[in-house]
Every structure is written in C-alpha cells, then in structure tokens.
Amino acid sequence: MREAIRLSLREMRRNAGGPFGAVVVRNGRVIGRGWNCVTTTNDPTAHAEIMALRDACRRLKTFSLEGCELYTSCEPCPMCLAAIYWARVARVYFGNTRRDAARIGFDDDHLYREVARPRAQRRLPMRQLLREEALAAFTEWEHKPDKVIY
C-alpha cells in the first residue's frame, strides 16, 4: 500500500495527473505499477488502477491476473472496479474512500449512483439500435471453435 501511496504523491507532484497510485502484487512481489495519467495522455481511462493492470498484464503476457492483489491509494471508481473484476484480481486493498475523493472534486460516488439506476433513468441517454445485425457477431462467436475464452 505504501508503494501505491508513494506513486500517487510522486506523480501528482510531477503534474503527471491526479493523486492516485496503484500496484499489482503477485506472491508478495510488485508486478505492475500505475498512477493517474489522464491529463498527460489525454486518456480518460488512464486511471492508476487501469495503468497498473495494463503494466502487470504486459509483464506477465496474459490478460488474467488470477491470484494477484491490487493495492490502490483510493477506492476504485466503477470503471476501474469493472476492469479489476475482468482481470480476475483476487483481492483489493484501498486507502482513501470514494467519498474522500468526492470531497476534493473527484466525484466517483456520483458514477456509482448513476450506474445503479435503471438505463432509462440515467443522465446519459442510451438507445438500442440494429440488435438483429449485431447478434450476428455473437452467433458466430458462440460457434467459433478456436476462440480464446476470457
């Protein structure tokens, strides 16, 4: 956890992004590091947790981080939390809460509330189009003999 906090402070002080850091650990060893790079990369997905997951997966040459743990300086936002689940991380440790983040202008808590609403009640309008055409890819995937399951 101290390494995640150290990264959050170091990179924030370098103006590399917001005050967030994260590390992926496997068998007691750090295998991935990340810090918030949203403003320096012009990438809204470049959160500390995402960057740490990407680093760990690149180093291990796999998309699965089963058996790994994530240490992050702040409770993950919904995007990061989803990515952590997709990566199959075994456990997450965090420092600050999403409410702590909201108090300094990072309103992740708003996103948690928004995602929990029924689709029709969300602020972001969503409308389904061309489902039958889109299903073609799913049907083909379902019968694809050489697919890589993830």
Q: Provide the whole-model pTM.
A: 0.91
CB atoms under 10 Å from CB of 41, counted, come to 13
DSSP state of 75: P
Q: How many helices (H) and strands (E) does the chain have?
A: 7, 4
Question: Tokens 């590390």 identify what position?
Answer: 23
- Residues with a catalytic annotation lie at 49
Residue 124 and residue 22: Cα distance in Å, rounded?
Answer: 29
> Is the distance from CB of 58 to CB of 79 less than 8 angstroms?
no
What is the dihedral angle through the alpha carbons of 54, 57, 59, 65, rounded to the nearest 10 degrees? 130
Please write the tens of the pLDDT for every residue from 29-72: 999 999 999 999 999 999 999 999 999 999 999 999 999 999 99
Please write the tens of the pLDDT for every residue from 115-130: 999 999 999 998 999 9
